[in-house]
Every structure is written in C-alpha cells, then in structure tokens.
Structure 1
Amino acid sequence: MTQVAIVTGANKGLGLAIVKLLCERFDGTVYLTSRDEKRGQNACEELNQQGLTPKYYQLDVTDSESVIRFRDYMKNTYEGIDILINNAGILFLKDAKEPKTYQAEQTIFVNFTSLVNFTEAMLPLTKDGGKIVNISSSSGHLSRIPSQEIREKISSPELTLEGLRRLTDLYLDAVKRNKEMEEGWGESPYVVSKVAVNAYTFLLHRRLKSRGIIVNCVHPGYVMSDMTHGAGDVSPAAAAEHPVRLALEPQAGGLYMWRNGTTVPWGGPDPRGYIDGKPV
C-alpha cells in the first residue's frame, strides 16, 4: 500500500523545505501543492534536479472547487492519506497598506477558515494512525489574546468547531466596529488566526483520538521567506526539521512544539524569550 504525504503552500520557503525533507526521509509519495501552478511545477523540477521525486498537484485551499478536485483525485488514486502538513498561510506586515478590516478578514479566511475546510475535506481519506501537522507560530500562544474570558472560551475542552468558528466571527465583527482592542482580542489578526489554528489542532486531536490520528501544531520560528520580505532568523531548511519530525516520528497528539523541538504548554506565560534563553 502506497504511503502518501501532502504539503500545502509548498512552492517556496518553508513549504518547499518541508517537501524536500519528506522526499529524503519518507518512504512514500510526497505531494507538493500550490496555488500557482507554474511556480509549483518549477519547484518540483528544482527538486528533481537534486534527485528527489515529489508529485505536483495544483491546489488552492481558499477555493472550494479546487479542494474538491484535489480530494476526488486523491480518493480515486490512493487508498488513503498518511500525512497532511497544513503550511499555506499569509501575513500582512506592519507596513501593509490594506484597510484593517480587509487584513483581518483575509488573515482569518486563509490561515484559519481555509485550513479547517481543507482538513475537514481530507479527513475521510486520512488513514487511521495518520498524522496531521498544522504550521503555527509563537503568535498562536494563548497568552497573546489579552482577554481572559476569550482565552477561557477558546481553550475550553468543550469547545466545538462550530463554537470556534463563531468566536472568529465575533472577532471579525469587533474589527468592523473598531472594537477589537476594547473587547480583548488585541491588535493582530495574525495572532487571532494562529490562536484559532492551535485551538482547532487540539479539538481535532480530541475528535480523532479513537482513530489513532495524531494532530499537532508547530511554531517553526521566524522563517526567512517571501512572506516576511526576507526578515527572520531561521532558514527554511532549519525550520522544516520539526514539522517533519512531528510527521514522521512516533509522537503524542495535541502538542504545541516550539522551534527548538521543545513542547510548550499552550496556556500559561508567553514563552517567547525564555526557550533556551533565545528570542523566539
């Protein structure tokens, strides 16, 4: 039975580095997916020149028709999926000119809503005992949400996916009313999106325990990439190590792994600057 791994948003940066490592270490078929077909095919050719053989499929996780096409292709081609690494995402930097409401809507839609919709579409194809890894951030630490009431709601073990979606809707409504700071969400859409990704990771882990599917999230570090306009202090190759480790090695589920391989509690004090005495 062929083993299959899928990486989203993988034509460059961290996603491409993850595909490369999987091709080197995973005994199965690795799918490099991307929204931009030409860039995705070029990335595959780049890896081919290094003796690696990923497969390519055009996938836009923000487009429901694209997700359905990909799901149906995988269903008709393979007996199931072993590894899913959700890497696709966006970040508006501080100097972004787009209106605040637009930034918030797009960040939540791409980083959280589309990740959830794609994952839910692929769950029926995911083999029992499979692995799901969500690329998160230090911004996903629960302490980054100022309001204790919101933190308690979003970290509740009783939280459902429907409830989590409602919370992100409440956040977007607060932004539209220019009340996000007053109501305790903070000023960063990226923080809210990654906190929501982590919350989804942990509730999905609880849902899938009976199937033996391991669901984890990882903060890979501040990665040098196009998304950060070349800023960052971690190369894509170094940042790929821990997502691939979570995907390939025996692991517990419901973990929030830090960029140095340490698992940190989602709640509690913000661990930035305290892991190995280094800023993170």
Structure 2
Amino acid sequence: MASKVVVVTGSNKGVGFGIVRALCKNFKGDVILTARNPELGASAVKELEKEGLSPKFHQLDINDHESIVKLRDFLQSTYQGLDVLVNNAGIAYKQASTAPIAEQAEVTLKTNYFATLDACEVLYPLLRPHARVSNVSSMVSQFALAKCSDEFKSRFVSKDITMDELTGIMKKFVQSAQKGTHKEEGFSDSCYGMSKIGVTVMSMIQQREMDKKGSQDIVINACCPGYVNTDMTSGKGSLTIDQGAETPAYLALLPPDVKEPRGQFVREKKVAKWSM
C-alpha cells in the first residue's frame, strides 16, 4: 500500500515552511515541501533535516499549469493519490507599494485566486477518502467582505453561489480595478482582501460540491494563520511562523468523520463568522 502523503504549496519559507515543520512532526506519512525555485526548496529541506525532520521536495509554481500537472503525475505514480493538500502559496503587495491598482489587482488575483483554483482542479481528483484540504486565506477576507456592497456581500455568503459565479465576480473585480471603478461597482479597495474572499468562498463551494457527489469524508476549509512575522508582513507580524502554522496544520490533521469545521472559515482553530 502506498504511503500517505501531504503537499504544502509555497513552503520554502514563511508560514508554509512552518506548516511543513508542524506536519513533519505530526503527520504519519510523507510531507512534500514545494517551491518555485528548486535551489530554495532544497535549502529549506536541508534546514529541516538539521532538526531531525525528513520532508521531501517537489518543484511547484502554481502560476504554471504544467508545473501543477507534473506534480499531479508524480503523486499519482509514486503514491496513487493524495491525503492532505495545504494551499498556502500566495502573494501580497506591500502597503507602501506604488504599483497602480490595475496591476495589483491582476497580479494578486492571478496567484491567490485563479492559480490556487487551478491547483485544486488539477489535484483534487487525487484526493483519497478522508483527505483534508487546508486553504490558507486571511482575516483580511472578512475586512474586505465588510467593505463590499450589500449585493456582493449577499452573494459571497450565499449557500447557492457556484464556482463559475465566484470566478466571474473575481474577473469583474480585476476588470473594474483596471478601469478604476471598483469602489463604485461595490468592491473593496483591497486587492489582497478580494483575492482572499475568493479563497474563502471557493473553499465553501468546494466542500458543498464534494458532499453533493458523495465523497467519502473529504473535508475542505479556509483559514487565517494570523498576523505572522514574515516577508509578506515586512516583519511586522506578532506571531512566529510556527504559531501561524497552527491553524492550517490543525485543519490538515482533522480526525476521520469530523462534523465541524467543514467548508468553513477558521481562525485560531475555531470557526469564524462569515456573514453580512
């Protein structure tokens, strides 16, 4: 029988690296650290090996569809499936960035929403019964939700929103940001926040879709790691990467047949509010 396996995207540094460390200590199976740059990935693996841990490495750039397909083919041939997926890869412009909103919207959503969704669509067919998916979102998705128009809020919290509808709204946000009309059209002015609304709602839809097709105890959640001291927060976060890894790792290790959380947004290992 093939070993159990977990994949953590974007995990050569920051919260992703902390998640790999936590899973190496607590997951009974192989833990695959991924990075766009193989040298940085190999260096991260060596760092964890010095701690007596044994992660494996596979190259992955979620913005490159072929790279995701190569990872899928490797998992299929080596493990014949996938037990845990932590979608951690993401980007954020610094608050001080002078890049125009048109660029920030396109680049941020390309990685955080569209590429993450692509990774899910390619890798989900490998999920075995009792698989767990932890999609790293952010509390900023809650702040951004609060700033959207009532019309968008009602769709983002709706139990009948589809993936096609969500993707359409995310595309509309990018288009309106490029025209500079995003606020008038009812969107938040935070590109990162909008991208993470996408990740949060995507996770809820995916759980409903899994349940509808009768998947055996596959559990998908979105989560906020907290305000972590990483490059992404310019070192301003109050949590260590290991503290930031706690909630994503908790969701990755949920026991069989868990009733909650399922298809929810989780902060500090508790279900958080996602409503108007």
Determine what percentage of the aligned residue pairs are the same residue: 34
Pairing of 1:217-232 with structure 2 (within 5 A):
217-232=222-237
Q: Which residue of 2 aligns with 1:237?
A: 242
Shift of 1:19: 0.2
CA distance in 2, matches of 1:152, 1:219: 22
User: Residue 208 of structure 1 aligns to which amino acid in structure 2?
Assistant: M
1:215 aligns with 2:224: no
1:134-174 deviations in Å (ceiling 9; x for gaps): 00111112633420101112222221111111001111111
Matches of 1:249 and 1:119 in 2, distance apart?
A: 19
Q: How many Å apart are 1:4 and its aligned residue?
A: 0.4
Separation in 2, partners of 1:68, 1:244: 25
Q: Deviations over 1:83-118 (max 9, x none)?
A: 000000001122112221111001111001100000
- The corresponding residue for 1:276 is none
Q: Distance in 2 between matches of 1:15 and 1:95?
A: 24
What is the one-letter code of the residue matched to 1:254?
Answer: G
Tell me what 1:46 maps to. Answer: 47
CA RMSD of aligned residues (A): 1.2
Query: Does the 8 Å CA contact 1:144/1:191 hold for their aligned counterparts?
Result: no
Residue number in structure 2 paired with 1:180:
182
**Contact 1:145 1:192 survives alignment (8 Å):** no
Query: What amino acid is aligned across from residue 270 of structure 2 in structure 1?
Result: T
1:116 aligns with: 117
Q: Check whether the contact 2:134–2:248 (CA below 8 A) recurs between aligned residues.
A: yes
Per-residue CA deviations over 1:16-41 (Å, capped at 9, x if unaligned) read 01000100010000000011111110
In structure 2, the partner of 1:160 is: 162
Within 1, Cα distance between the matches of 2:60 and 2:148?
35
Per the alignment, residue 70 of structure 1 pairs with 71
| CA–CA separation in structure 1 for the residues paired with 2:162 and 2:264 | 18
Q: What TM-score results when the alignment is normalised by the length of structure 1? A: 0.92
Give the equivalent residue in structure 2 for 1:263.
271
1:208 deviates by 0.8
The partner residue of 2:263 within 250, 254, 259 is: 254
Aligned to 1:196: 198
Structure 2 unaligned regions, length at least 5: none
Please give the alpha-carbon distance, in whole angstroms, between the structure 1 residues aligned to 2:91 and 2:152: 24
Structure 2 equivalent of residue 7 of structure 1? 8
Q: Structure 2 length as normaliser, TM-score? A: 0.94
- Counterpart residue number, 1:91: 92
Q: Distance between the aligned counterparts of 1:70 and 1:14, measured in 2?
A: 21
Gaps spanning 5+ residues in structure 1: where? 269-280
- The number of residues matched between the two structures is 267
Distance in 2 separating the partners of 1:143 and 1:98: 23
Alpha carbons 1:111, 1:194 under 8 Å: kept: yes
Partner Cα distance (2:252, 2:107) in 1: 28
